Amino acid sequence: MPVKPYHHPAAGWGALKYVAINLLKERVSGVNYKSLFAQNQPDGFDCPGCAWPDREHASTFEFCENGVKAVAAESTSKRVTPDFFAAHTVAQLLEQSDYELEQHGRLTHPMVYEPASDKYVPIAWDDAFKLIADELNALEDPDQAAFYTSGRASNEAAFLYQLFVRAYGTNNFPDCSNMCHEATSRGLPGTVGIGKGTVTLDDFEHADTLLIFGQNPATNHPRMLGELRECARRGATIVSINPLRERGLERFTSPQHPLEMLTLSSTPISAMFVQPRLGGDLALIKGVAKRVLELDDRAVLIGVPRVLDPDFIAAHTVGFSDFARDLRTEKWALLVEESGVSREQIDRLAEVFIKGQRVIATWGMGLTQHKHSVPTVQMLSNLMMMRGQIGKRGAGLCPVRGHSNVQGDRTMGIEERPAAAFLNRMARVFGFEPPRHHGYDVVATIGAMMAGKVKMFVGLGGNFAMATPDTPLTFKALQSCALTVQIATKLNRGHLIHGRKALILPTLGRTEIDLQNGVPQGVTVEDSMSMVHISYGLNKPASPALLSEIAIVSRMAEATLGRRHKLKWQAYRDDYAVIRDDIEKVFDDFYDYNARVAKPGGFHLKVASREREWATESGKAQFVPQKIVLDTPIRRARAKHGQRLLVMMTTRSHDQYNTTIYAMDDRYRGVFGMRRVIFINQQDIDMLGMKAGDWVDVESAWDDGVERRAGGFMLVAYDIPRGCIGAYYPETNPLVPLGSVADGAGTPTSKSIPVLLSLAAAS
Ligand SMILES: Nc1nc2c(c(=O)[nH]1)N[C@H]1C(S)=C(S)[C@@H](COP(=O)(O)OP(=O)(O)OC[C@H]3O[C@@H](n4cnc5c(=O)[nH]c(N)nc54)[C@H](O)[C@@H]3O)O[C@H]1N2
Ligand SMILES: Nc1nc2c(c(=O)[nH]1)N[C@H]1C(S)=C(S)[C@@H](COP(=O)(O)OP(=O)(O)OC[C@H]3O[C@@H](n4cnc5c(=O)[nH]c(N)nc54)[C@H](O)[C@@H]3O)O[C@H]1N2
Ligand SMILES: [Mo]
């Protein structure tokens, strides 16, 4: 049976065993062990695993299964060479699974697509850049090109990329964060003024209460569990708010603590599990806020200490009375129904929240990939503001980002809706007028490709074809392009779904030594808590033909822009410190950039809201009331299809990194050797007249006339609220309608897709 419950604590021996097997396998192919122990060291590289910060850029090796997998995947000795491409047509490669494609190893040479043979053949770097330049310069309008970024690009690479693209003339910057924490970046500015988290790791040492919304840290941010373990042992109360009881939030054995490992003991993490229905968090948080207000009313009445923080509200906020009025008029029945959480449990959560003197709220994709994710993020800041839980030690907002430099890339100006002040600064520093009109994000880019408005695509990393919604449609969009350019470390399906002309440009990974004129170069990254630090690769490059991302971007720029602008591309790639000097000229908070990143651990980038400075229109933190909207696609679909209509979330298994499939297991959820599963409540299985283990097909219930199906998933009975199901991405992306996005953020709603199940045609 491929599915069995996992009764062990998260991490611990299970994780170590995985790593041992992994290393043994890789030993044969010559992985650089030292590299595993050098990640996040003061003179080593930043872990490409995730954006969770590390202590002091740790002085001891901090064990993390996710990091080990990411590093091992990058330092594999397997190679995708010109011979490999000569042996396979693109059509043949498309037959392989994402897992198989990943296993072929590192790309070694720049390759160009040859239609006659349906193969990628080698191309000289200069010719590749000339091809890009010719195509870009042949477009009628720079807005016909789109420039994607995935969140591993360094600050320096991202900065040069946006400089090049803006000098070329467009703001078309689709970015992986459009599919990720965009709701955070769009929501928080409206309440606290800046779209970043307000805490640092130090705050975790002082928090007494932690609310963990919509995250699976055991898999996605394992080092976060180390912090939660310390919090739990100190007696802090941890609440998991998640439709699933994720294993890592139940019990955790720390690989950092040999005694726990040897005695097979573990630390219980969450004291309380709240299991809202998918997308129910807005109503749940609003319910908690309403209860907090009720308890405050009572406190005033009977003359005991206030529950609200009236001093904070008076000194630091605006809009409280409108917000409170909306809370008072909201109906409990609606909040209970929409959240899927009982009134008793909402009250209990409110009790935990008000007992906390120092509360941290963290969140991940469970909050951001819904239609109303911006209101949800704003409601969470409203709640925290009610008790002044922002901008003091041990308390605050903590969005947990994904890719290791996704936050830094946005800081560097990867932004399709750039602020005027930033553009003014760019104009002043670089002496050209950047485009002012807004560009396309991810979803808009796909739409523009379909409409023939975008004809050229450049991807700085990532896997645009597979990470995005509506897969068959997105494939067509990419295939309609005149040229697609993929700058990548490893082969993925996105390289095989290409335009009429296509390039694959292989690049150095962060773990590799980046020599320019014989001098090793460091790059910088910003983690989820706004710590900026430098990263030096330690491994020998996978191939002598590789160029760094910075070299690729600057040579692409030189070839395209020629003498049009006096930008110093050559100087930038000769010495990355020169790029940092120019970054500092554009962003004041990066003053003394080179000196400050030279210090071990780097520096903390100022986050105004952390200091209780509010960069909002009013100059204060703003309470923003949020309505529970009743006319939603899910409700409409349910009205049409009744209780057979299920809401699906698409999530990550333990053995994948986004679209990269490392292996086929999802250990903590007890799934082994397969990915095509659907987690579903047993009562829903009964309701459908099916059995656990049945194979089903899934169809989206979306009324735009497009049929969206994905076939062949096994039903797994699971502790998940009624009406909700879960499955893995990217296999389920064909079911996510392109038009289904978060209001105000454009994020595909990949955690709430209305679907119908039927027994699989083949069963
Ligand atoms: N090993 C590994 N590490 C990774 C990644 C990876 O793929 N593999 N990806 C990286 C990236 S880019 C990102 S963004 C992060 C993602 O890390 P997470 O934010 O943990 O993302 P998901 O795996 O999608 O898990 C989302 C969690 O939200 C819960 N959830 C789903 N819907 C809801 C809801 O409506 N309400 C609530 N409260 N919870 C909900 C799910 O049950 C699940 O536990 O991880 C990063 N780290
Ligand atoms: N249905 C559904 N869809 C989702 C999500 C979901 O939860 N559900 N999550 C969304 C989220 S949160 C995100 S962030 C996106 C992820 O979207 P992407 O960031 O586009 O996808 P990845 O799978 O992380 O990209 C992996 C590829 O990046 C390349 N790569 C790796 N390292 C480097 C490097 O150092 N440099 C360069 N140039 N290339 C490199 C490799 O070729 C690898 O194949 O997916 C989103 N899509
Ligand atoms: Mo992400």
Output 237 or 257, whichever has higher pLDDT. Answer: 237
At residue 68 the predicted structure's pLDDT band, cuts being 50, 70 and 90, is: confident
Q: Which ligand is nearest to the CA of 362?
A: 1
Distance 344 CA to ligand 1 centre (A): 27
pLDDT digits (tens, 9 = 90+) for 727-754: 999 999 999 999 999 999 999 999 999 9
Q: Are the C-beta atoms of residues 38 and 75 closer than 8 Å to each other?
A: no
For the chain, the 3-state helix, strand and coil shares in percent, each to the nearest 5, are: 40, 20, 40
Band of pLDDT at residue 279, cut at 50, 70 and 90: very high
Computed over every residue of the chain, the mean pLDDT equals 93
Among 229, 287, 215, 273, smallest CA distance to 50 is for 215
pLDDT in tens, 444-463: 999 999 999 999 999 999 99
Interval between CA 366 and ligand 1 midpoint (Å): 6
Complete domains list, the chain, with CATH? 10-75 (no CATH), 80-180+406-586 (3.40.50.740), 184-400 (3.40.228.10), 633-759 (2.40.40.20)
**Is the CB of residue 661 less than 8 Å from the CB of residue 675?**
yes
Among the listed residues 527, 458, 523, the one whose alpha carbon sits nearest the alpha carbon of residue 494: 458
Please name which ligand lies nearest the alpha carbon of 276. Answer: 1
C-alpha–C-alpha distance, residues 26 and 43, integer Å: 24
Pocket probe for ligand 2: among 463, 650, 731, the residue whose CB has the most ligand atoms within 8 Å is 463
CB contact at 8 A, 219 and 15:
no
Q: Whose CA is nearest to atom 19 of ligand 1?
A: 364
- pLDDT number for residue 69: 85
Is the pLDDT at 29 greater than 60? The verdict is no
Indicate if the pLDDT at residue 530 is higher than 60: yes
Taking CA atoms only, the protein residue closest to ligand 1 atom 17 is 220
**Residue 446: which of 756, 729, 179, 87 has the closest Cα?**
179
128 lines ligand 1 (CB under 6 A): no
Centre of ligand 3 from the C-alpha of residue 242, in Å: 18
- Does an H or E element contain 558, and which? helix 549-561
Taking CA atoms only, the protein residue closest to ligand 1 atom 10 is 402
Q: Do 481 and 500 contact (CB within 8 A), yes or no?
A: yes
Omega before 730 cis (within 30°)? yes
Pocket test of ligand 1: the residue of 400, 651, 671 to mutate, having most ligand atoms within 8 Å of its CB, is 651
Say if residue 184's pLDDT is above 90: yes
DSSP string, 570-598: HHHHH-HHHHHHHHHHH-GGGTTHHHHHH
For residue 265, pLDDT over 70 is answered with no
Tell me the C-alpha distance between 7 and 269, whole Å.
15
**Atom of ligand 2 minimally distant from the CA of 74:** 32
604-634 tens-digit pLDDT: 999 999 999 999 999 999 999 999 999 999 9
| pLDDT score at 36 | 54
Q: Which residues contact 311 (CB under 8 A, 6 or more apart)?
A: 388
Tell me the backbone φ, ψ of residue 444, rounded to 5 degrees: -65, -35
Residue 231 alpha carbon to ligand 1 centre in Å: 21
Q: Which ligand is nearest to the Cα of residue 221, counting in written order?
A: 1
Could you tell me if 98 and 497 are in contact, meaning their C-beta atoms sit under 8 angstroms apart?
Answer: no
Nearest 10 degrees: Cα torsion 719, 723, 729, 732: 140
**What percentage of the chain carries pLDDT values higher than 70?**
91
Q: Which ligand is nearest to the CA of 213?
A: 1
Q: Is 565 left (phi over 0), alpha (psi -120 to 50) or beta?
A: beta
3-class DSSP assignment, residue 569: helix
CA of 450 to the centre of ligand 3 (A): 25
Counting residues of the chain whose pLDDT is more than 90, the rounded percentage is: 84
Cβ of 220 less than 6 Å from ligand 1 = yes
Q: Which of 11, 46, 49 shows the shortest CA–CA distance to 402?
A: 49
Residues β-bridged to residue 211? 239, 361
Pocket test for ligand 2, best of 150, 410, 507 (most atoms within 8 A of CB): 150
- For the CA of 650, the nearest ligand: 2
Q: How does DSSP classify residue 252?
A: E
Choice from 181, 285, 362, 365 to test ligand 1 binding pocket (greatest atom count within 8 A of CB): 365
Q: Whose CA is nearest to atom 32 of ligand 1?
A: 366
Q: Which residue among 216, 662, 665, 669 is best mutated to probe the pocket of ligand 1, counting the most ligand atoms within 8 A of its Cβ?
A: 216
**Nearest-angstrom CA–CA distance, 56 and 48:** 17
Residue nearest to atom 31 of ligand 1 (CA): 366
Q: Is the CB of 514 under 6 A from ligand 1?
A: no
CA atoms within a 13 Å half-sphere pointing along the CA-CB vector of 466: 23
Which residues place a Cβ less than 5 A from the ion ligand 3? 180, 402
Give the chain's radius of gyration (CA, Å).
25
Which ligand is closest in space to the CA of residue 512?
A: 2
**Token digits of residue 116:** 């006659």
Beta bridge partners of 259: none
**Ligand 2 atom closest to 148 (CA):** 20
> Ligand 1: does its nearest atom lie under 6 Å from the Cβ of 652?
yes
Question: CB under 6 Å to ligand 2: residues?
Answer: 150-152, 176, 179-180, 365, 369, 402-403, 460-464, 467, 487-490, 492, 507, 509-510, 549, 650-651, 658-660, 729, 732-733, 736, 750
Q: How confident is the model at residue 267 (pLDDT cuts 50, 70, 90)?
A: confident
User: Ligand 2: distance of its center to the CA of 137 in Å?
Assistant: 29
Confidence of residue 388 (pLDDT cuts 50, 70, 90): very high
Ligand 1 neighbour 277 (Cβ under 6 A): no
Listed range (33-47, 242-256, 580-594, 676-690) with the worst mean pLDDT: 33-47
Give tens-digit pLDDT for 116-135.
999 999 999 999 999 999 99
Distance 572 CA to ligand 1 centre (A): 36
Is residue 238 exposed (0-12), middle (13-18) or buried (19+ Cβ within 10 Å)? buried
pLDDT at 25 over 60: no
Residue 330 three-state SS: coil
Distance separating alpha carbons of residues 345 and 271, to the nearest angstrom: 13
Which atom of ligand 1 is found nearest the CA of 726? Answer: 42
Ligand 1 pocket mutation pick from 468, 649, 665, 720 by most atoms within 8 angstroms of CB:
649
pLDDT of residue 66: 82
pLDDT tens readout for residues 570-597: 999 999 999 999 999 999 999 999 999 9
Whether residue 270 has pLDDT greater than 90: no
Ligand 1 center from residue 155 Cα (angstroms): 24
Q: Whose CA is nearest to atom 39 of ligand 2?
A: 461
448/144 Cα distance (integer angstroms): 9
> Are 274 and 241 contacting, i.e. CB atoms less than 8 angstroms apart?
yes
Residue nearest to atom 37 of ligand 1 (CA): 214
